[in-house]
Chain A
Amino acid sequence: MAKVLVVDDAAFMRMMVKNILGANGHEIVGEAENGVQGLEKYAQLKPDLVTMDIVMPELDGIEATKEIIRSHPDARIVMCTAVGQQAKVLEAMKAGAKGYIIKPFQAPKVLEEIKKVLGS
């Protein structure tokens, strides 16, 4: 199905996203543990979709999203977020992210979101 880049500073979270998506036919083509790495990997791998954590060292998910969208306006970025981060998520959407998934991840919701965003 889709080629996905997972950006999150917690290996645990990356594993979770990977397993949910991997179990449902998506291919995880890369992982990054901060925004800077995320940008590099995006440029290098050109994935169909990025899952992007918000709070990360080096470059946070919002700045990374802005940067990716700047060079690739059609990038499909889904923010990974926690409860209580509405403002941040909204900022990310304004920056060009296409969707968001909320921790703790529920597989059906994650998959639905990914499907919607990929369909756009």
Chain B
Amino acid sequence: MSTEIDLSQYLNAFLEETKEHLQAFTQALIDLEDADEERAVEVLNAAFRAAHTVKGMSASMDFMNMEHLCHSMEDLMDELRSGSRGVTPELIDMLLECSTKLEELTICIEDNGNDDIDVSEVLSELDKVKGNGEGETAEDKPEKKEKADKDEGKSKQDSEKKVESEEGKGKTYEINISVNKSCDFKGVRSFLALKTLAEIGKIVKTVPSQEDIENEKFGFKFKVILVTEISDDEIKDALASVADLEKVEISGEAVEVEAEVAEQEKEQKKKDLKSEVAKSKDKGKEAAVKSVRINIDKLDSVSNLVGELVINKSRLIQIGREHEIEELGSTMAVVERTISDLQYEVTQMRMIPVEHVFNRFPKLVRDLYRAQGKEVDFILKGKEIELDRTVLDEIVDPIVHLLRNAVDHGIELPEGREKAGKNRKGRIALAAKRETGHVTISVEDDGKGMDPDILREKAVSKGLLLTDEVAKLSDEDAFKLIFMPGFSTAEKTTAVSGRGVGMEVVKTRVEALGGFVDIQSEMGNGTKMVLKLPLTTAIIQALLIDVCNKTYAIPLSNVREIISVLKNDIKTIQGATVITLRGSILPLVMVQSLFGLFGNDNNGGHNHKDKFVVVVVERSEGRIGLVVDTALEQQEIVVKPPDEHMQGATGLGGFTILGDGCVVPILDIASLTLA
């Protein structure tokens, strides 16, 4: 028998679940602030449950600081639940502070495997709030009272039955029971022993009384006078089913008494139980959720394997075509369908609702605006929208940054807003939206908006651009200045959200995922930042293009349209090659010159053609056109990350393997430099 528990194997499960519960806890507290009475009870219970569960888990993992903190929080929440104390913003703050501490502890556990963070300060603050904070846990109080009432009734019943039992039949035994000193809840344990005895006979008397035993008002021994028909050995056997009984001594007097009450009593008990249970029957029933937890790494490798299948599938189809094997073709049609189903399922498995990261933001935003004396209504939309787990993890920091900007730079102080004729309370909305092929996540505020002139000045003063350069920028382009490295409008960092990552990092992160950032802003009316993200990063739709007989892939999520352009339409404005597309300027990138390719005519490629194919792609800075020889076909490709030789090569974002075994580079639209 193995009885040792190796805690390390539980660490992942522990961390994951603790994080979930902390989120639920925080959300409940934030909801509590605006909740009406009925809702308050509900969310308090949810918060309590979360703290309670974390307490149990941390105790199991031997993270005692965490356990103490949860325990203390539980006590405070119980005072709130029982109504002995009203909910105030200060108390909510206090509990939120606790949750921050718990998050710190979780991170510490994740990083160092221990919870060695000082929690005494928070604990003493909690104690102060709780008043005495001593003695029995609040949790037991209301129940104990209720129970005492019940017991009173019960002992009356008992004494009535005692009279009856005088007429019972059987032997009378005196049983002395010692409870193990290391036993937890000796009252409960003793109750179990008494219950067992009551099932085999009639308890005439106990010393001390049954209530006292249940309430632990005894040392470690108690005495029972039992009338039963069975032998002392059989009594011992019965008591063997109760753990933690150190010693059972039985002395039988062999006094014959009538004892037919036992059966009646059992019947009565069952009836009581039935009526009690009836109440609980109408509670809501929900379909069972069948789920297993899988490590994301495992899922990744399944995705990769499916990716390999996709590649080999195309290879097989091609072989069938080349050798005109009809049977192979028809079989492959079936295989193809199965593989695409499989691929769909795997992709679905990687999807989780954005809720998982969104839920942590209300607290963050609240902390931010409160610290600055601002007032904000924070609204979450589209929490149920699903995104690839990897994508979701990557965009947490960018979203935090956008929210921080919205509070710090967007929303004005209440007085300022009043002066501007706005509601004192600002409004920030974080919304996720599913669009074809991608998901957008937007952060919108109704603050003061961005001033393009200030941005222009700043770009000049930081030495990023020249005065005449910025003068030419449209307002929309001026907004995009904030993406430039070295252009951070945040002078100070706030304590709450820590150091900002800067808009430049927001852009880089989002683009690394194959997405892009869009800014809409209006002076006085607010700013809207939109992150456009692909649904998944592992297998994507791509457009294959040919440049000088070399094939490249462009993520389809970036492609807007493919147009044909006459040579005469191409103009050069200040050294940049552009065309005019529906009235606006479209900068062009000659893909061949990017990679130093030359066409078969050995004569400078495009220069001798009259017509070009231009693929219009979208990125954070706006649209650009890629000049290519041919647009080949649209295909599903498996993205392989760039290997070490490719890293640092601008314009390449990885590679893929096609059905014929060809290795094809994937263009990284974001990092393409304009000619």
Question: What residues make up the interface of A, taking CB atoms closer than 8 Å to B?
Answer: 9-13, 15-16, 19-20, 23-25, 32-34, 36-37, 40-41, 55-59, 63, 66-67, 69-70, 73, 81-91, 93-96, 98-100, 102-109, 111-113, 116-117, 119-120
Question: Is there an interface contact between A103 and B3, defined as CB atoms closer than 8 Å?
Answer: no
**Which one of B140, B144, B273 has the highest number of Cβ atoms from chain A below 10 Å of its Cβ?**
B273
* A12 and B383 alpha carbons, distance in the complex (Å): 26
Contact in complex: B280, A36 (CB < 8 Å) = no
**B595 CB → nearest A CB, Å:** 51
Task: Please count how many residues in chain B sit with their CB below 8 Å of the partner chain's CB atoms.
Answer: 57
Q: In this complex, which of B3, B55, B61, B238 has the most chain A Cβ atoms within 10 angstroms of its Cβ?
A: B3
- The reply to whether B191 and A90 form a contact with Cβ atoms under 8 Å apart is yes
Instruction: Determine which of A66, A84, A102 lies in contact with B140 in the assembled complex, contact meaning CB atoms within 8 Å.
Output: A84
Task: Say yes or no: A12-B14 contact (C-beta < 8 A), given A86-B187, A111-B3.
Answer: yes
B342-391: which have CB < 8 Å to A? Answer: none
Residue of A nearest to B13 (CB): A12
**Separation in Å of the B515 CB from the closest CB of chain A?**
33
In the complex where A12-B14, A93-B192 touch, is A105 in contact with B5 (Cβ < 8 A)? Answer: yes
The residues of A that contact B188 with a CB separation of less than 8 Å are 86, 89-90, 93, 100
The chain A residue sitting closest to B195, CB to CB, is A93
Task: Answer yes or no: B156 CB below 8 A from chain A CBs.
Answer: no
CB distance from B72 to the nearest CB of A (A): 12
With A20-B5, A103-B60 already in contact, 6 other A-B pairs whose C-beta atoms are closer than 8 Å: A12-B14, A12-B57, A58-B285, A82-B55, A93-B191, A111-B3
Give a binary string over B569-606; 1 marks a CB under 8 Å from any A CB, 0 the rest.
00000000000000000000000000000000000000
Q: How far is the CA of A100 from the CA of B270 in the complex (A)?
A: 21
By a CB distance below 8 angstroms, the chain A residues around B285 are 36, 58
Q: Indicate if the CB atoms of B1 and A24 lie closer than 8 Å.
A: yes
Question: Smallest distance from the beta carbon of A90 to chain B beta carbons, Å?
Answer: 5
6 A-B pairs within 8 Å (CB atoms) are namely A58-B283, A66-B277, A82-B59, A87-B147, A103-B56, A116-B240
CB within 8 A of B143: which of A25, A36, A40, A88? Answer: A88
Contact B10–A16 (Cβ < 8 Å): yes
Q: Is B174 interfacial (CB 8 A cutoff)?
A: no
CA distance A84 to B629 in the complex (A): 75
Q: Is the CB of A90 within 8 A of B60?
A: no
Which of B184, B196, B281 is the one whose CB lies under 8 Å from A102? B184
Among A55, A82, A88: residue with most chain B CB under 10 A = A82
User: Which residues does chain A contribute within 8 Å of B419, judged by CB atoms?
Assistant: none
**Do A103 and B59 form a contact, CB below 8 Å, given A87-B144, A89-B185, A120-B241?**
yes
User: In the complex where A59-B283, A67-B280, A116-B241 touch, is A15 in contact with B10 (Cβ < 8 A)?
Assistant: yes
State how many angstroms separate the Cβ of A107 from the closest Cβ of chain B.
4
Consensus secondary structure, chain B interface: helix
Given that A58-B286, A98-B241, A102-B184 are contacting pairs, would A111 and B59 also be in contact in the complex, using a CB cutoff of 8 Å? no
Determine the residue in chain B with the shortest Cβ distance to A103.
Answer: B56
Are A119 and B184 neighbours in the complex by a CB distance under 8 Å? no
Question: Which residue of B49, B270, B293 contacts A11 across the interface (Cβ within 8 Å)?
Answer: B293
Q: Which of A9, A84, A91, A96 contacts B273 (CB 8 A)?
A: A96
With both chains docked as a complex, state the minimum distance between the C-beta of B214 and any C-beta of chain A, in angstroms.
Answer: 6
In the bound complex, do residue B56 and residue A11 qualify as a contact, i.e. CB atoms below 8 Å apart?
A: no
The residues of B that contact A34 with a CB separation of less than 8 Å are 286
Interface membership of B53, Cβ < 8 A: yes
Q: For the complex, what is the distance from the CA of A103 to the CA of B61, rounded to whole Å? A: 10
Candidates B140, B147, B270, B283; contact of A63 at CB < 8 Å: B283
Closest residue to A37 on the B side, CB-wise? Answer: B288
- What 5 pairs between A and B have smallest CB-CB spacing? A120-B241, A104-B60, A107-B3, A87-B143, A63-B280
How far does the Cβ of A9 sit from chain B's closest Cβ, in whole Å? 7
Measured CB to CB, the nearest residue on chain B to A118 is: B241
Near A by CB (< 8 A), chain B positions 30-51 give 46, 49
Give complex CA distance A108, B1 in Å. 10
Take A24-B2, A96-B273, A119-B240 as given contacts and tell me if A86 and B56 are in contact as well, using a CB distance cutoff of 8 Å.
no
In B273-296, the 8 Å CB interface with A consists of 273-274, 276-277, 280-281, 283-286, 288-289, 293
Assembled-state Cα–Cα distance A11/B642 (Å): 38
Flag if A40 contacts B288 (CB, 8 Å): yes
Assess whether B52 is interfacial by the CB under 8 Å rule. Answer: yes
Q: How far is the CB of B15 from chain A (nearest CB, A)?
A: 9
Chain B, residue nearest A120 (CB): B241
A108 to B274, CA, bound (A): 35
Assess the B243–A10 pair: CB atoms within 8 A: no
Partner of B283, one of A25, A36, A103: A36
Q: Which residues of the partner chain A approach B263 to less than 8 Å between Cβ atoms?
A: none
Question: A108 to chain B: which residues have CB within 8 Å?
Answer: 3
Q: Which residues of A contact B280 (CB under 8 A)?
A: 59, 63, 66-67
**Complex interface: chain A residues within 8 A of B240 (CB):** 116, 119
Q: Is there an interface contact between A111 and B10, defined as CB atoms closer than 8 Å?
A: no
B546 within 8 A of A: no
* Known A104-B62, A116-B243, A120-B241: A33·B289 in contact at CB below 8 Å: yes
A102/B185 contact (C-beta < 8 A), A24-B3, A91-B147, A116-B240 known: yes
B563 within 8 A of A: no
* A95 and B14 alpha carbons, distance in the complex (Å): 31
User: Contacts of A57 on B, CB cut-off 8 Å?
Assistant: 46, 49
Interchain CA distance A12-B270 in the complex, whole Å:
35
Interface: B258 (CB within 8 A): no
- For the complex formed, measure the closest distance between the CB of A57 and the CB atoms of chain B, giving whole angstroms: 7
Contact B17 A12 (CB under 8 A): yes
Residues of A within 8 A of B55 (CB): 82
Least distance between A93 CB and chain B CB atoms (Å) = 5
Residues on A with C-beta less than 8 A from B273 are: 66, 69-70, 95-96
